[in-house]
Amino acid sequence: MPQLLHLDSSADLDHSVSRAVTAHFSDIWHSLGADHSVIYRDLHRDAVPHLPTSALHWAPHLRAAGEVAPPEAEALQKELIDEVVSADVVVIGAPMYNWSVPSTLKAWIDYIHVPGITVPFDAPTRPLEGKPVVVVSSRGNEYGPGTQNEGADHTVPQLQQVLGTALGMQVYVVLIDLTLASRVPAMAPLVPQSEAALAAARSSVAELADKLGRGLG
Ligand SMILES: Cc1cc2nc3c(=O)[nH]c(=O)nc-3n(C[C@H](O)[C@H](O)[C@H](O)COP(=O)(O)O)c2cc1C
């Protein structure tokens, strides 16, 4: 039973671009067959708390003497890790907030990036190795090569580092630039470019959902 884990983190519940695009991914996934299931987690509406203690960064057997974690936080960490491990594919809505990821998404990362459990430390433990993850990153401005903001994106590189380099996941990135064009009067001439970026993102996720979901039936 092919399973998608669908995460959103935008704080915009009405006009979010990343939510619309991840929902499109989910819709295509569902359309591949009744056996294609989706687990949905809204990291904004149902935010996970900040780590209550740094002990949770380590697998229990790697904790120093006296480093203990509250049982309810351990249970939440296990639930979040089990959820991502059991998924066949993951899609993450990752808007740019102050050149980085929303703090709600960062809190989720802090729970699931755990030496000795999800990343190798004293043993070659890497349960997420090779798992496809689609990152949908919406940003108000533009950050591509040759733009004024080139190099200022710390959203996607952070996710590539954690999900790809550390956890070993296969990261696909879908970018949507200029989402603020329709809101900021000075950006009005960029509206057609912004609409084209959204259309391109929708077709990229449709293609990816189809490609990643099809072989799994
Ligand atoms: C708290 C906050 C911080 C933001 N910081 C940036 C930023 O650093 N750079 C940028 O280009 N846009 C920034 N924006 C604009 C968002 O990236 C843009 O509205 C994007 O579409 C948000 O994703 P969403 O449409 O899925 O909510 C920010 C928006 C918010 C709410």
Ligand 1 mean position, distance from CA 95 (Å) = 6
> Which CATH fold would you assign to the domain 3-214?
Rossmann fold (3.40.50)
Which residue's alpha carbon is nearest to atom 24 within ligand 1?
Answer: 16
Q: What is the pLDDT of residue 96?
A: 98
Indicate if the alpha-carbon torsion angle 194, 199, 202, 208 is positive or negative.
negative
- Closest ligand 1 atom to Cα of 15: 25
Check whether 127 has a pLDDT greater than 70. Answer: yes
| CA–CA dist 21, 206 (Å, integer) | 9
Q: Whose CA is nearest to atom 31 of ligand 1?
A: 97
Question: pLDDT tens digits for 7-60?
Answer: 999 999 999 999 999 999 999 999 999 999 999 999 999 999 999 999 999 999
Angle in degrees, CA 73, 74, 79, rounded to 5: 95
Supply the residue whose CA is at minimum distance from atom 30 of ligand 1.
97
- Sorted by where each begins, the domain ranges of the chain are 3-214
| Residue 139 CA, closest ligand 1 atom number | 17
Q: What is the 3-state secondary structure of 102-151?
A: CHHHHHHHHHHCCECCCECCCCCCCCCCCCEEEEEEECCCCCCCCCCCCC
pLDDT of residue 216: 73
How far does the centroid of ligand 1 lie from the alpha carbon of residue 63, in Å? Answer: 37
Return the pLDDT at 217: 55
- 154-160 long-range contacts, CB within 8 A, separation 24+: 154/99, 154/100, 155/94, 155/95, 155/96, 155/97, 155/99, 155/100, 155/101, 156/94, 158/100, 158/101, 159/92, 159/94, 159/101, 159/135, 160/135
Q: What is the mean pLDDT of residues 159-175?
A: 98
Query: What is the number of the ligand 1 atom nearest to the C-alpha of 17?
Result: 25
Alpha carbons 179 and 195: distance in angstroms, whole number: 8
Mean pLDDT computed over 192-214: 97
Token pair for 136: 């949908």
Ligand 1 environment, Cβ below 6 A: 10-12, 16-19, 95-99, 138-141, 179-180
Q: How far is the CA of 50 from the centre of ligand 1 (A)?
A: 21
Q: Whose CA is nearest to atom 3 of ligand 1?
A: 97
Residue 51, burial from CB neighbour count under 10 angstroms (0-12, 13-18, 19+): middle
Which atom number of ligand 1 is nearest to the Cα of residue 10? Answer: 27
131 has a pLDDT exceeding 80: yes
SS (H, E, C) 27-83: HHHHHCCCCCEEEEEECCCCCCCCCCCHHHHCCHHHCCCCCCCCHHHHHHHHHHHHH
